[in-house]
Amino acid sequence: MEKKEVKLEEEKNDMDELYFALERKEKENSEKSGLLMSKEKMLGLKEKEIDERCQVLGAKEKEMLEGAKAIELKQKEIDERSGLLEGKEKKMLEDAKAMELERKQMDERSRLME
């Protein structure tokens, strides 16, 4: 009978050790789970921050494109004005040539009248 009691006591001790080992493992797993949840939360915050930065970059890109379009329009306007000025300059040169020709003709008439 005593052997059975010793054997039962040993089995009880083994069971207690297994129970405590199981409790330690559960505690470790719980701690690991908490760390994982913290890391997941941090990753979620990082992802949100990255999304916000992407939105800011997208807005800046849009602003830059609008600026580039405005520059293109200004350049087109400058080119058009430059073309008008070239046209005016050409007209002035033609007028100057016509005036020079007219002056020569007048000089010729004046010389012939003398």
- For the cut 90, the answer to whether the pLDDT of residue 113 exceeds it is no
Note the pLDDT of residue 99.
95
- 């020569």: which residue's tokens? 104
- For the cut 90, the answer to whether the pLDDT of residue 6 exceeds it is no
User: What share of the chain in percent tops pLDDT 90?
Assistant: 61
Residue 99 belongs to some domain of the structure: no
Please state, as a whole number, how many other Cβ atoms lie within 10 Å of the Cβ of residue 63: 10
Residue 98 belongs to some domain of the structure: no
Which of the four pLDDT bands, split at 50, 70 and 90, describes residue 9? confident
Residue 94 belongs to some domain of the structure: no
Q: How far apart are CA 11 and CA 4, in angstroms?
A: 10
pLDDT in tens, 62-100: 999 999 999 999 999 998 988 888 888 889 999 999 999
Residue 37 belongs to some domain of the structure: yes
Task: Provide CB contacts within 8 A for 31, sequence distance 6+.
Answer: none
The structural domain count of the chain equals: 1
Distances (CA, A) of 63 to 19, 57, 66, 74, 106: 65, 10, 5, 16, 63
Tokens of 16: 């207690």
**Parent domain of 1:** 1-81
Note the pLDDT of residue 100.
93
Q: What sections of 1-114 are H helices per DSSP?
A: 2-113
Note the pLDDT of residue 106.
92
